[in-house]
Each structure stands twice: as C-alpha cells, then as structure tokens.
Amino acid sequence: MRRFDPDELWERVEREFRVWLDATGADSAHIEVNGIGRVQDNIAWLMRDGVKEWARIPWELGSPQGDLRRAQALPDRGAWTWCRLWMAAADRVLHQECDWLREPIFAEPDGGPPGPRDCWIELDLYPRDDEFIPDWLRKGYEAELKRQQRNARRRENYRRKREQERGD
C-alpha cells in the first residue's frame, strides 16, 4: 500500500480544487465521499449563482482526492467513512468535514449500506480501538468473521473426508 504525506496530499488536492474552480468559473466546488475498505463513492457538484450543477471530478483532482482517506487514517480511530470537501471561489481555501462513525450509504445501482465483507476489510485495513467501532461496523465485521469460520470448518471437514477416502 502506498504511503502519502497527508500535508503534501492536502496541498495537492487544494491546488487541483483551485484549478477546477478556475476552469469552470463556478462560485464553489464540492465533493462528498462515502468510503469503506477499498471502496469509495464520490458525488461532485458546482454552485453557480445559487444553482447546484452535478459535475464530474477532473482526473487531476480525483486521483489525489481518492488517496485522502487512506492518508488521513488515524491509528486508533481508523479511516473516515464520510467526508465532504469544498472550496469557495471567494476564499480559495479547501475545507473538509469528516465522520468516522457514519454508516456509508452508496449510490445506485448496487447502492445501500456496506456488506459484511466490506466491514471486515475496513477493520483489517484501518484498525480501530473498540470504542471507535460503531455498531453497524461491528455487526458487519462479526457476520463476515462467522462466515469465514464456517467456511474454514467446511474446508477442514472436506479435507478430513478426502483423507479418509484415500485411507490416509
């Protein structure tokens, strides 16, 4: 897994937000991110004269912005699961609001909350102290752990059966 200096990455994202604002002439630019494990879902919009316009994130911004979650993960709290980034053309300063406990809800077509496997991957990649594991994440993790244990028992039973059939 690549490592990033959070401050350098932040500066790059801020610089690319400015470029995006300059290129579009918008009053402000916004990106909302839901993330868990290795999955991120981004929604972007521009505000122009008080009107919200859905937008595509330029690749030059999307690439470093996609790395922020990993770079900002904290040893005891894990990675945030929801984040909003925005910049107003008037001040050209990047702002961020994050939530480490919110259950991410992903857009369609697959949509909905994360599955048990996603929860397990999240805690494997970004461990958290027990007090920072929300109920939805704990339940998903435990469900995936039970599934893995069932599969391990099945594999072991199958292995034993094969050994008996071969006469080992």
Question: pTM for the whole thing?
Answer: 0.85
Please write the tens of the pLDDT for every residue from 37-85. Answer: 999 999 999 999 999 999 999 999 998 988 999 999 999 999 999 999 9
Whole-number mean pLDDT of the chain?
93
CA atoms within 13 A on the CB side of 63: 5
Please write the tens of the pLDDT for every residue from 24-38. Answer: 999 999 999 999 999
